[in-house]
Amino acid sequence: MANASGFFTSPSIPNLRSRINVPIGVSRSGFCVSTRFSNRVLCSTLSSVDKDASSSPSQYQRPRLVPSGCKLIGCGSAVPSLLISNDDLAKIVDTNDEWIATRTGIRNRRVVSGKDSLVGLAVEAATKALEMAEVVPEDIDLVLMCTSTPDDLFGAAPQIQKALGCTKNPLAYDITAACSGFVLGLVSAACHIRGGGFKNVLVIGADSLSRFVDWTDRGTCILFGDAAGAVVVQACDIEDDGLFSFDVHSDGDGRRHLNASVKESQTDGESSSNGSVFGDFPPKQSSYSCIQMNGKEVFRFAVKCVPQSIESALQKAGLPASAIDWLLLHQANQRIIDSVATRLHFPPERVISNLANYGNTSAASIPLALDEAVRSGKVKPGHTIATSGFGAGLTWGSAIVRWR
């Protein structure tokens, strides 16, 4: 059976640690660390236990501790066909290309339209990631859909699982953490692999924030675009481990600076109370408001917390900043990216950014930028990447990873 930590225990083995003489502790990164195997982040799973049919539970052989690592082996991305430029936005709000580009670094963004759907984009990105990884859908053990804007209130991951043709009905579920979602998806994938025995995990970051933007508000409508990105995370020998550490946080007090809250429908007559003729029951129909953001406060939060989080992740990984080949941040605003890079002493040529072409695509921004960097030859096998997501919640998280 699985305990609260996600590791498997057996009622016939009341004290596993007393029977296995291997030093194991839980690091602040959230992974288990065995100092005998490695000084890096790792965890362990139990191998199957041989047992004679006539043996009693007390006669089970001692379980073997098998260390497991995980690594990124494939990536993919997809964007809608409709491109909206700054000049296009200038036709509907009081702005211009120079004003937007100077303050944000954004010049274009993609927006879902027509027959586009978030699930469709996610499936396209996932298919490309699987092809690069040379993994067939039947071998996927878990689908994690990191999104705050699913096509269905109850989540999108199972729809993606079906569309990909995952015939073994693997677990599929959504992770809602806004712009931090993809990093938390990586952490979740690693935990499932290290602690649950999963082999191939598909992590997708996808959002369609254009559906929740007030297109008359030039303070927010200039920022957001729609996209999807995906990676395949695969179990591997601990010597090949490619997820070195992570650092994750949240602060609910910051919600007031960035949110899209539920609101009751503003209609007249009987429908305003959802058919009710007495009191507050049944509840009124509701929907989500447009994105509300205090840009200055979000900027202050990001340039303070993100460098601290990356430094913490580096410390947990036992790596200096000089060991990092690339800095890959959530693509929110070029000023934020530049400020964080400056504080961490990363030169501009080691910072990945495609913000100008896509805007802020929320949970999709990191895997989208990674995919472009990999396919262009910028990021090569063996390169180490410091990545960090940050946004609504407030939530933020960093991970130190190696590509393939």
Query: How far, in whole angstroms, is CA 214 from its chain's centroid?
Result: 25
Sequence length of the chain is 404
Smallest Cα–Cα separation from 62: which of 124, 16, 22, 115? Answer: 16
Find the catalytic residue in 166, 330, 333, 357.
Answer: 330
DSSP label of 279? T
> 43 an active-site residue?
no
What ranges make up the beta strands (E) of 38-175? 43-46, 65-78, 82-85, 108-111, 142-146, 171-175
The C-alpha atoms of residue 360 and residue 380 are separated, in whole angstroms, by 25
Q: Report whether 245 contacts 187 (CB < 8 A).
A: no
From 70, 75, 146, 179, the catalytic residue: 179
Residue 398 CA to residue 298 CA, distance in Å, equals 17
Q: Which tokens is 342 given?
A: 């400056």
Q: Please give the full DSSP string across 29-49, using - where no structure is assigned.
A: TSSEEETTT-SS--EEEEPP-
Helix (H, G, I), strand (E, B) or coil at 237: coil
**Longest pairwise C-alpha distance within the chain:** 80
179 is catalytic: yes
Instruction: Give the C-alpha separation, 313 to 396, whole Å.
Output: 12
Residue 182 and residue 203 in contact, taking contact as beta carbons nearer than 8 Å:
yes
> Tokens standing for 145?
């859909």
Containing H/E element for 6? Answer: none
Separation CA 39–CA 318 (nearest Å): 8
**From the centroid of its chain, how far is CA 335?**
22
Give the DSSP H or E segment for 204.
strand 200-208
Q: Is 354 a catalytic residue?
A: no
Phi, psi of 227 (to 5 degrees): -175, 175
What phi, psi does 61 have (nearest 5°)? -70, 155
Q: Could you give the 3-state DSSP secondary structure of residue 287?
A: strand
Active-site positions? 179, 330, 360
